[in-house]
Amino acid sequence: MTDNAQPSANPYLNRPAAEEGTTLPAAAAGDAQAAANSRAVAMINLVDKLISVLDRENALLDKPRSKDLGPVVAEKRGLFAEYEAMLRQTGNLSALMVELSPGRKAELLDRAKVFDAKLRENEIKLDAMVRSSEQVMRVMSDVARKMAQPVQGYGNKGTVAYSSKTSAPVAVNETL
């Protein structure tokens, strides 16, 4: 990472350098590397699924009021819950990265970079959508205030003089 780069939300890209002197006997190192490679394959497969979902969501966010967004968001939430559980189960990512074969480590880091880029793109699009929705709601609120008219009612003596409440006909059928 360069000095002017932002820290990533992705834990694989923020990991510290491997610690020196963490050698294991040859047989144990081979078993540890096989186990680490197996965990890495599972992570890579999950990250690939997340990348696919983020691609679909990002494409849908380009379309205003897409009705297909709900199921994709639900799928994304489920995959992120699975991803977080996998990270908790894995524990020390630095130790895992040290145990990986060089090819698997490179593959995992490449996927992590793509995943991080998709997450940033998704964050930007979601933020833009939220700001747009807030602006629409502000405009609707301002128009409703301007259109508000007194509600006529009966006073204490049965006359039509009572008019202290105001209202405007506004309805919202969906929220972001």
Give the pLDDT score at 169. 56
Note whether residue 171 is domain-resident: no
Question: How many domains does the chain divide into?
Answer: 1
Per the structure, the complete domain to which residue 140 belongs is given by 26-148
pTM of the model: 0.64
Q: Is the residue at 88 inside a domain?
A: yes
pLDDT at 59: 93
Give the Cα separation of 125 and 129 in Å (integer): 6
Query: Mean pLDDT per 10-residue run, the chain (176 residues)?
Result: 48 43 49 85 94 94 83 94 91 83 92 95 92 86 73 61 55 54
Q: What is the pLDDT of residue 78?
A: 96
